[in-house]
Structures are given as structure tokens and as C-alpha cells.
Structure 1
Amino acid sequence: MGMLVLAELVKRKLALLGLIIIVIIAGSALLAPWIAPYDPQNQMFDGLTIEGAPMPPSMQFLLGTDLLGRDLLSRLMYGAQTSLIIGVVANGTAVMIGALVGVIAGFFQGWIGTILMRVTDLMMAFPALLLAIVLAALFKPSLWIVAMVIAMVNWVQVARVIYTETRSLSEREFIEAEWAIGASRFRILFKHMLPHLLSTMVVWATLGIATTVLLEATLSYLGVGVQPPTPSWGNIIFENQTYFTSAPWLVFIPGVAIILLALAFNLVGDALRDILDPTQKGRH
């Protein structure tokens, strides 16, 4: 199944482009300790001009240096680790929580479903970014805290979608036939419901990474995300924004990296939505 989906993805030019971008960024993040030109924390004397300004891109520093004389390329590679870890962990957690809430509420319904969906509606009433800022400010920001904060604000959309699909599946003829022959709740849920919901979870797990990466970058830029000296693409922009006019590469390059990674996951997620649920083709 997995190989068939991958083969379908490769056939689509935009999805293939997204996969290539993801592989390049993920590969540079995983191999950063071995291929990064410098230590991302190393403040080099020759990384600054005589006036103490950042060095522009050159043969020695391919993407230039930041205001402390640190190699920007090395910091981007290590920052990719942060973005990908938070993207995968936070979104994976959000999908699991949302799927659990949605399936329980849609399958069991009754007062359990009502309470769970009212809590979901209440969470959806708060702006996600504002809620994330408040939660991040309440705790000491770190990589894992930021991941959990993002998960806590992103699960509600997944819960709503899974709840709607679960309710729809519950009314299908094959589910009613299972009830009629006396099948157990366990059998219906795990043999018939969850396999039909898996494709939706996979699509949300892919598309959600793009949103998560953007939210992490926003939190780090606002100073309530991953804290220096741990590099992340958001705090790289935050640290160097004062040099935007004199050293624009310090803001432009990490900004492009964030956009490319988010775009790549969106391209792959859209393709997965078409492949795993052909009825959605052309509707987005």
C-alpha cells in the first residue's frame, strides 16, 4: 500500500517537487552534525567585517554570517532539525488527540459525544495563535514545550473532521449490517471504522506539518517559542531583524526556507488527499 501511494505521488509533478524539497531539507537536518561547515554556536572573529557587521555570502560563508559572526548555513541546517522535530511531534500528537476525540464522540455519541464536541467548539472559539502565545508564556519555552503547546491548539480541527466522518460512517449500510448481526463495538470500531478513517488521518498528518512549522516560526519570532541559543528558523529571523536593511539575507533566506518547507508539505498533502480519497479530486 505504502509503495503504491509513493508511486502515485512520484507521478504528480507538484507532489514530486514537494517530496524533493522535503528530502533535501530533512536530509540536511539529519546530516547537519557531519555536513554543516561550522558549529552553529561558534562566534568567529573572521565572521564579522572590520566594522563589526555580518559578512555577506562568500566562498568561506556560503550564506553569510549573522550579527554574532555565526555561519548562517550551519544555523539553518540545525534550525531545520528544530522545525522538523516540532512539526512531526506536535502535529503527530495533535492528530492522535483529535482522532481519539473525534472517533469517541462520533462513534459513541450520546452525552459523551456532546461533551467532547462542546469542548472542541470552545477550543475552536479561541484564535489559535493567541492561545498558543498564552500557553507558551505560562511555561518555560523549550523545544518540547513548544511542540506540546502547538499540539494543544491544533487538535481541534482534526477532531471536528474525524467526528463528522465517523458520524457519516456510522450511518452507512455495512455498519448497520454489522450491528444487525450482533457484531461487537470493538469489531465495528477497529475492523470497519478506523480503516476508513486512516486516509483522512494521513492527509491531516501531512498537511498539518506545514501549519505547525509556520506556527513554530511565528512563536519563535515573537520570542515565546524555541529559545536561543537553540537555532530555529523563527528565532534566526527574530535575532537578525534589526539588520534587515543592511544584511537582508539574514531574514530573507530563513524566510524562504520556512515558505519552501510549508509549501512542500502542502503539495504532498494535497496529492495524498486526491490519491487516498479520489472523490475529493478537484474540490480544493
Structure 2
Amino acid sequence: MVRGRPAVLLGLLVILAAVLAAVLAPVLAPYDPNAQMFDGLTLEGAPLPPGGAYLLGTDLLGRDLLSRLLYGARTSLIIGIVANGIAVLIGAVVGITAGYFRGWIGTALMGFTDLMMAFPALLLAIVLAAIFHPSLWIVALVIAMVNWVQVARVLYTQTSALSEREFVVSVRALGASDGRILWHHILPHVVPTIIVWATLGISTTVLLEATLSFLGIGVQPPTASWGNIIFENQTYFQSAPWLVFFPGICIVLLALSFNLVGDGLRDLLDPMQKGRG
């Protein structure tokens, strides 16, 4: 996958760095991410710029920005993986079930899917996040609830086509049960699609979490999140731009890296993609 693809290799390295930062945050972080340092502000009460004892500077409360970014990587990765994992699971169950059984079951499931797709994902996420008390796991669940529909639609189309293939018709004629057909003959053909969506979707969930946190209805302070770091410090954008730039570049790099790796997996697992573009 990475041979002759430096962009994919770069994406893997960035993801690995983010995972290591998240896992080793207690070791790598020079300070407690929520500790307000007595020397973390200037005499005028402004954040300290990067350099010196605080490598990336401090925020408006005198907290070390590097420490908060390292712990924020945990939040982004946990939500990205958990939310996207739930979304892919729901989408796979709905899409494969509707595509295989069709009839009134498929009509009902895909009708509900189309209804969910009619609502703007961000608006629906904002409404759900506002209804429930935002926390790390609630935000992950909310994001999953708005992101499963694309997976369901793609897998429905693929499963519908597979159900008409000769090998499926043959095993059905031989008396194979629906469960056996789904497990042994349908699922192996859609697993590559599921893997690709499981990778590409993480970037979407990371961006959506950052958006919700920036709007103040995502992960709540003092828990560090790249989105709420920007939200908390946006008023200092002109006087202390590093408070917005550093978390912003972290979000962009992580989302871009998952997209690059997802594209590489798609080319590797889907023969139809090889040789294109």
C-alpha cells in the first residue's frame, strides 16, 4: 500500500504519531493539562508566547498548550474511532439487511435511511448534542447517529447487486440458509468496502467533533479537545494566534492523514480503482 505512495506513508506516520501522543500523554506532557500555572500569564494577564518553559505557549488561563494538545489527541482519537466504529456497524447492519432481504424490510430500512440523509448532518448533530448533556461518550454517540447513513446506502447498493449474482442464486437454490449466505457469501465481498469506510470516516468524525466542540456543545471543558481549545481561545486570535493555529493544524493533519490512508486502502482492496488517476 505504501510502496510508491509517499503520501500514504506520510499519513501513516502522522496517525502513528497521534496515537503515540494520545497513549503516552501522561509521560510526554510536561504539565497537568488543567493546571493553571502561576507564571503562565504575563503581568498584564495575557497568555505566554511559545518558547521557554512552555514550548507552545500557554492559553488564556495560564495552562500549558502542549500538554492540552497531547491530551486533546486522546479525545479526538477516542471519538474518531468509537463514533466511526458505531456508525460503520449500524450502517453495515442496515445496508446489508436491506440489500439482501429487500421487500418491505428493505423499503422500510432504506426509507428511514433516506429520511436521515435529508437532514443536514451538522444541524442534526447540534440538535442531538443540545438535547443530551454533552460528554465524551455522548458526543461519540451523537456523531455515530448522524454518520451511519452513507455507509448504509453504499452497502445497500453493493449487497443488492451481490444478491443477484450467480453464486448467491446457486447456493440459495441448494437450500443454504439466509444466515449462511450472508456470512459466507455476502459479507466477505463487502468487507473491503467496510474497511475503507471505517478508515475514511474517522476523518469526518474528527472534524465533526472539533466543530461541535468549537460551537460549545461538544466535549466540555476542562477536558482537553482540539475543538474546545480553539473555542476557549478564539477571542485571542489576533493577539495570540498560536492558541488557534496549533490545535487547528493538528485537526487538519489528522483528518488529512486518515483520508490519505483511506484512499490507499481503497486502491489496495478495490481492483477497479487500480490504474486510475
TM-score (norm 1): 0.96
1:195 to 188, 197, 203: 188
Query: 2:253 is matched with which residue?
Result: 260
Query: 2:172 is matched with which residue?
Result: 179
- Report the 3-state secondary structure (helix = DSSP H, G, I; strand = E; otherwise coil) of the residue aligned with 1:9: coil
Query: 1:238 is matched with which residue?
Result: 231
Of 254-263 and 9-18, deviating more is 9-18
Query: 1:229 is matched with which residue?
Result: 222
1:48-107 CA-to-partner distances (Å, cap 9, x unmatched) read 111110000013111100000100000000001000000000000000000000011001
1:169 to 162, 171, 174: 162
Q: CA deviation at 1:165?
A: 0.4
Contact 1:9–1:268, Cα closer than 8 Å, also in 2: no
What does 1:1-284 align with in structure 2 at a 5 Å threshold? 8-9=1-2, 11-281=4-274
- Report the 3-state secondary structure (helix = DSSP H, G, I; strand = E; otherwise coil) of the residue aligned with 1:258: helix
1:94-141 CA-to-partner distances (Å, cap 9, x unmatched) read 000000000110011110010000000000000000000000000100
| Residues in 2 aligned to 1:57 and 1:159: alpha-carbon distance in whole angstroms | 46
1:19-50 CA-to-partner distances (Å, cap 9, x unmatched) read 00000011011100111110000100111111
Q: CA deviation at 1:10?
A: 5.3
Contact 1:105–1:117, Cα closer than 8 Å, also in 2: yes
| Residues in 1 aligned to 2:275 and 2:119: alpha-carbon distance in whole angstroms | 31
Change in 2 beyond 3 A, CA 1:282/1:150: farther
Query: Which amino acid letter does the alignment assign opposite residue 74 of structure 2?
Result: Q
Matched pairs, number: 277
| Residues in 2 aligned to 1:121 and 1:91: alpha-carbon distance in whole angstroms | 19
Contact 1:9–1:272, Cα closer than 8 Å, also in 2: no
Q: CA deviation at 1:9?
A: 3.3
| Residues in 2 aligned to 1:109 and 1:266: alpha-carbon distance in whole angstroms | 32
Change in 2 beyond 3 A, CA 1:116/1:283: farther
| Residues in 2 aligned to 1:146 and 1:256: alpha-carbon distance in whole angstroms | 22
| Residues in 2 aligned to 1:187 and 1:196: alpha-carbon distance in whole angstroms | 14
| Residues in 1 aligned to 2:244 and 2:86: alpha-carbon distance in whole angstroms | 30
Query: Which amino acid letter does the alignment assign opposite residue 263 of structure 1?
Result: L
Percent identity between matched residues is 73
Across the aligned residues of Structure 1 and Structure 2, the Cα RMSD in angstroms comes to 1.1
| Residues in 1 aligned to 2:182 and 2:21: alpha-carbon distance in whole angstroms | 41
| Residues in 1 aligned to 2:100 and 2:243: alpha-carbon distance in whole angstroms | 50
TM-score (norm 2): 0.98
Q: CA deviation at 1:181?
A: 2.0
Q: CA deviation at 1:281?
A: 3.5
